[in-house]
Amino acid sequence: MILEKFYENPETLHVGTEENRCFYMPLDLQEKENARNLSGIDWKFGYFPCVEAVPEFQRKDFDEEQFGRIEVPSCWQMLGFDQKQYTNVRYPFPFDPPYVPDNNPCGAYIKYFDISRSEAKEEQFLYFEGVDSCFYVWINGKFVGYSQVSHSPSEFNITGKTKTGMNKLAVLVLKWCDGSYLEDQDKFRMSGIFRDVHLIFRPKEYVRDFTVTTPVDFAGNTARVEVKLDSVVGEPQVICELWDKDTLLGECEAKDGSAAFSVKDPVLWNAEEPYQYTLKLRTPEEILVQKVGIRTISIKDGVVLINERPVKFKGVNRHDSSPYTGAVVSRVDAMFDLRIMKEANINAIRTSHYPNAPWFPQLCSEYGFYLIAEADMESHGGATVYGGSTEGTFSYFAEDPRFKASVMDRVQRNVIRDKNCSSVIFWSLGNESGYGTNFEEAGRWVKNYDPTRLLHYESVHFEPAGHKKDESMLDVESHMYASTQMIDEYFAQPGEKKPFVQCEFIHAMGNGPGDIEDYMQQIYKYDGFCGGFVWEWCDHATYEGRAENGKEMFHYGGDAGEFPHDGNFCMDGLVYPDRRPHEGLYEWKNAIRPIRAELTDRKKGIIRLHNKLDFRNLKDYIYLRYEIKKNGVLMEEGILDELEAEPHGFMDITLKLPAKTEERYYLKLTYYQKAKDKLTQVGHEMGFDQFALSEEKEKEPAFENKGEPLTLTETPEAFCLGNEFLHYEFGKKEGNFIKLERHGEALVTAPVEWNVYRAPTDNDRNIVNVWKEAGYDRSVVKVYGCEAKLRQGIVTITCDFSIAAVFIQPFLRLHAVWTVNGDGEIRVTVDGKRDTAFPFLPRFGLKFCIPEKQQEVAYFGYGPHESYCDKHQASYMDVFHTTVPELHRDYVRPQENGSHYNCFTVKVGNLTARGRKPFSFNASEYTIEELATKKHNYELEKAGCVVVCTDYKQSGVGSNSCGPQLLPQYRFDEEEFVWEMLYCFE
């Protein structure tokens, strides 16, 4: 097929398309949609490796037998065509703008649709919600037009090209076009008609585009709903109506292209209470319906205000992504996301990094989410070209005059489509495209076109050398992954400042994120810190069916054999690809809980409840349940359901708390929803606080001289100790027990080991190289001296040893004292000295392998979620009963998981461990090596034993997969330490 090469010409972005307009489907006078959704399974489809291979399929006489069928919307890669590819920054084709590879895969689509006699009299439009990357359209063999910008709609007027009866729609979609340079988003690269296609009928005269604004007079308690008709075809009479549910508040005719309503005592829109009015624009033959939330957005003294009240965005970045359909997302899918988000207290979404489906912002207005609505714009691949840099080529498209119109086009399409959605509070020019003239102009256009919203663009920080930038049109100081230190520095600067937002932070990849609470403290501390958006909502993967062992297979970058790819960097969500929550979601949920409690007077039992909501009083909305537990046993509980505190205010409650004792008392307050919301139910758990009522003092684990007195013998390799029932062997070279038997049965299935390593988490992806350089992944023990003594039936072994790796000096020097009694209980005290020239350690502890069948677990520590020193917002201190398989967190790329932090005791099978100080433990069916080497969860093979790690300490998990380095306070980098544990076998 011979095509005009619009797809390599940034001067021709669209051919035959209608002007941009806000998103709506027109209704007839009976308020029925005057449009037909052409999506369905009856599209014919042919896939071709290049344009030249495509037959003249748009022609009437084309033999369609050559074509198969395809469902629209779909991404052809998800249906077995072409190549699946996940790449982040690097372009999947040579960097030669505006040219794209000659072998440019194509999808040819044919769809027949019927036009009735009455429809034939109307104006007819084809409305494509989204096609990746560009497409040519023919009706009945006649060329209609061309368009691009994958995630923005394109509309064609096809009146005069159709006929009564059957019509043939032919669409040729190309995988790449000049626009692909501006769609370098971090995602699987997918192609095709991936959003709905509508056939819209309209009268001869109609309103095409309009803008609604809602200024509020707060002092006078009135608002105005103002309508501006931006584009009208013909001169129809336009009657505007404003409805409050079923009540008509007002009616007026638009004059000179505008109309306005005054609303007394308006119910204002906000994400907590998303109240909407309904605006109807009636022309003699058509009705347009627009939901209207009345709200304002402003900045005062560096603080972002909605309806003149300070707000905090507790957000996520969200892609349209499904493991089953790729970039195709249904309303049901989206509603599912929104429901889990609401349940998790999330109130804001950044549509990273392109406009989501056009109905998505409407759902957000309806269900209450603030949006950073982002243009379909990302070109960070400029930085990875040969000789490229963030100072230079990163801003290639921000500067290149050939792409000025493209940048503007993308920004305009984003704004105009969603301008009437109350949910949108920030416009974003795009993501990571550097800075330069093209963005400055686009930014000025936005501020001029829509002064009612704020403008965001993070990449302003990357400006090419030699360009004197103007960032005056940007309203917020946006950063991604800024460290807590950098944020403190920003607020420490004197003078006026823009509000600060983290458009991306808390990188939720794999086991993590571990730094949530540190950021939350800052968000609440600084009025000007309006919040942040976790990167990101969901893991991206493709579902590939089940493995032989029955496990579901989710694939990430590289699994399809593509080049380049970015491995599992797409697996960085708060939920798994199929939306099962990751532990990170629970962490984020409790960090952004609606109430934060403070134990202000321990003696009098006064607790201050801070209402962290921005708009709702606690009254009639939240109740709490308190429980006091002693050593995990419930002592007292009750419900307080008469809470009352203004948003950002507080109230004090008083509870009778037990006097301070040595016992481990905890008070837990759990918050529940009292009133039904649109997406959440009465009784929904919203979060909790917990307080230790006793000081967490060290407790020496009781070790007595009991049981049958031991005997002690020695071989060249080991000390052998035992009695009638027991036989233990302590390896002189291992500095540890190599055999533990009772009644002739092995208590451990392998020698006990000193352990410093963990299966690297995704967040360890940088530090793991440093750890490997230090040899932590391959360390061995060297024993210098080992002595055993028998006194009164008890054996004491002292041992001096170090830990080091081949060709590297020891990083730990240790002195251990082991004591064993006749019951087989083992007490160990270790003095450790760490060589501080070495990096911080993943962990330090003892590793046991116990028989496979011993699966029961009980522990007193942070649970029930996976917990680490920097990741325990979702967990609380209690006694938990579980099993080894249940402790496993099945990350798609296996890694360290399922640890429990701050434990006083743990029992796994017959092994009980107690610490003088709280410790961490894992119990897993998989070895550390297995978790470290397998690429997918479904490849994991069981160890044949239960691997129990008891750790003096384990370093935190952080979010360094993309975020800053692990904060110093969460690194295990002590120079000297003492650890005391007691182990016994039942």
Residues labelled catalytic = 432, 504
Instruction: Work out how close the CB of 351 gets to ligand IPT at its nearest, in angstroms, rounded to a whole number.
Output: 12
Of the pair 87, 855, the CB lying nearest ligand IPT is at: 87
Cis peptide before 900 (omega within 30 of 0): no
Of the pair 90, 121, the CB lying nearest ligand IPT is at: 90
Number of neighbouring beta carbons within 10 Å of residue 233:
14
| CB neighbour list of residue 259: distance below 8 Å, 6 or more residues apart | 226, 227, 238, 240, 252, 253
Instruction: Please report how the helices 516-525 and 484-492 are oriented relative to each other, as an axis angle in degrees rounded to 10.
Output: 10
Sequence-separated contacts (24+) of 559-563 with Cβ below 8 Å = 559/84, 560/83, 560/84, 560/85, 562/83, 562/84, 562/85, 562/86, 562/87, 562/92
Of the pair 353, 834, the CB lying nearest ligand IPT is at: 353
Of the pair 186, 823, the CB lying nearest ligand IPT is at: 186
d(CA 66, CA 55): 10
Of the pair 410, 727, the CB lying nearest ligand IPT is at: 410
Instruction: Work out how close the CB of 186 gets to ligand IPT at its nearest, in angstroms, rounded to a whole number.
Output: 3
- DSSP code for 487: H
Of the pair 378, 399, the CB lying nearest ligand IPT is at: 378
CA separation, residue 236 to residues 25, 281, 289, 608, 814 (Å): 18, 11, 17, 60, 88
Instruction: Work out how close the CB of 132 gets to ligand IPT at its nearest, in angstroms, rounded to a whole number.
Output: 17
Of the pair 320, 980, the CB lying nearest ligand IPT is at: 320
What is the chain's alpha carbon radius of gyration, rounded to the nearest angstrom? 32
Instruction: Work out how close the CB of 459 gets to ligand IPT at its nearest, in angstroms, rounded to a whole number.
Output: 9
Task: Kindly report the backbone phi and psi dihedral angles of residue 394, in degrees, each rounded to the nearest multiple of 5, phi listed first.
Answer: -55, -40
d(CA 231, CA 214): 20
Instruction: Work out how close the CB of 688 gets to ligand IPT at its nearest, in angstroms, rounded to a whole number.
Output: 30
Task: Kindly report the backbone phi and psi dihedral angles of residue 696, in degrees, each rounded to the nearest multiple of 5, phi listed first.
Answer: -80, 75
Instruction: Work out how close the CB of 802 gets to ligand IPT at its nearest, in angstroms, rounded to a whole number.
Output: 39
Q: Which residue is nearest to ligand IPT (CB)?
A: 186
Of the pair 95, 113, the CB lying nearest ligand IPT is at: 95
- Chain centroid to Cα 968, Å, comes to 24
Beta strands in 33-191 (DSSP E): 35-37, 40-48, 68-72, 86-87, 106-115, 123-128, 131-132, 134-139, 142-148, 154-157, 165-174, 187-188
Instruction: Work out how close the CB of 566 gets to ligand IPT at its nearest, in angstroms, rounded to a whole number.
Output: 9
The label of the residue with tokens 């709609």 reads 153
- Chain centroid to Cα 88, Å, comes to 16
Task: Kindly report the backbone phi and psi dihedral angles of residue 516, in degrees, each rounded to the nearest multiple of 5, phi listed first.
Answer: -60, -50
Please, what sign has the CA dihedral across residues 611, 615, 619, 624?
negative
Instruction: Work out how close the CB of 371 gets to ligand IPT at its nearest, in angstroms, rounded to a whole number.
Output: 17
Instruction: Work out how close the CB of 504 gets to ligand IPT at its nearest, in angstroms, rounded to a whole number.
Output: 6
Instruction: Work out how close the CB of 964 gets to ligand IPT at its nearest, in angstroms, rounded to a whole number.
Output: 11
d(CA 281, CA 26): 10
Please state the length of the chain. Answer: 986
Assign residue 952 a region: left if phi > 0, alpha if psi is -120 to 50, beta otherwise? alpha
d(CA 930, CA 916): 31
d(CA 692, CA 594): 21
Residue 130's closest CA among 48, 75, 64? Answer: 75
3-state SS record for 290-350: EEECCCCEEEECCEEEECCEECCEEEEECCCCECCCECCCCHHHHHHHHHHHHHCCCCEEE
Q: Return residues touching ligand IPT (CB under 6 A).
A: 88, 186, 353, 431-432, 480-481, 504, 535, 569, 572, 962
Task: Kindly report the backbone phi and psi dihedral angles of residue 948, in degrees, each rounded to the nearest multiple of 5, phi listed first.
Answer: -110, 120
Spatial contact of 447 and 292, defined as CB atoms under 8 Å apart: no
d(CA 751, CA 749): 7
Instruction: Work out how close the CB of 415 gets to ligand IPT at its nearest, in angstroms, rounded to a whole number.
Output: 21
Q: What angle do CA 972, 976, 977 make, to 5 degrees?
A: 75
Beta strands in 414-538 (DSSP E): 424-428, 454-456, 477-480, 500-505, 529-534
Please, what sign has the CA dihedral across residues 139, 142, 145, 148?
positive
Instruction: Work out how close the CB of 187 gets to ligand IPT at its nearest, in angstroms, rounded to a whole number.
Output: 8
